[in-house]
Amino acid sequence: MWAAWRGLDPAALLAPVRGHLPTPPARILDVGAGTGQIARHLSLLGHDVVAGEPVAAFHGVAGPAWVNARLPELDGINGVFDAILVLGMWQHIPPIDRPAALARLAGAVAARGRLIFVLRHGGVPNDRPIWSNPVEEPLSLANSNGMICIDRIEPRSVQPVNRAARVTWTWPVLHGRR
């Protein structure tokens, strides 16, 4: 997804969850931040943004604090966040690692914080491995970690290439029970 998102307006991309994002200044973690357009945009809005991304070559843009971190451990990422974004990357987490990954994320969401997923379905790329991504799975894991789903948005693909490939998206928004 991230390659297809290059050049698109980050504000427009985040529009489906605008109402769930905290008011600046807040602490936000972007997990699997890619080249950081979303993280940069949120930094410019006045947020304190940590971009967790295991590919060091992507650590380019100014604004977020870059950390070479990967799920499920997220080593080097400390504290709690008012919002955690998991945008178009959950399909890269092998199912065996997902319970630990969800537990790590749930533990890093502040009281009254939000955990926002963008889950991609279909349109398997042939240049990298991805795993199936049923929405029920992170919701069930989140529930086991004391979180509840407060919104579930299903926006249309913004990219014609994705619409042609019949890619669909689910954006579940989770809230801690603490």
Ligand X SMILES: C[S@@+](CC[C@H](N)C(=O)[O-])C[C@H]1O[C@@H](n2cnc3c(N)ncnc32)[C@H](O)[C@@H]1O
Query: Under rule CB under 6 A, how many of the chain's residues touch ligand X?
Result: 18
**Binding flags for ligand X, 76-105, as an x/- string (CB under 6 A):** -----------xxx--xx------------
Residue among 163 and 178 whose Cβ is closer to ligand X:
163
Measured CA distances, 13 to 2, 4, 16, 18, 134 (Å): 11, 12, 7, 9, 22
Residue type, 90: W
Q: Rule CB under 6 A: which of 18-77 touch ligand X?
A: 31-34, 53-55, 58, 70-71
Residue among 108 and 148 whose Cβ is closer to ligand X:
108
Residue 58 and residue 34 in contact, taking contact as beta carbons nearer than 8 Å: yes
C-alpha atoms less than 13 angstroms from C-alpha of 64 in its C-beta half-sphere? 29
Binding interface with ligand X (CB under 6 A): 1-2, 5, 31-34, 53-55, 58, 70-71, 87-89, 92-93
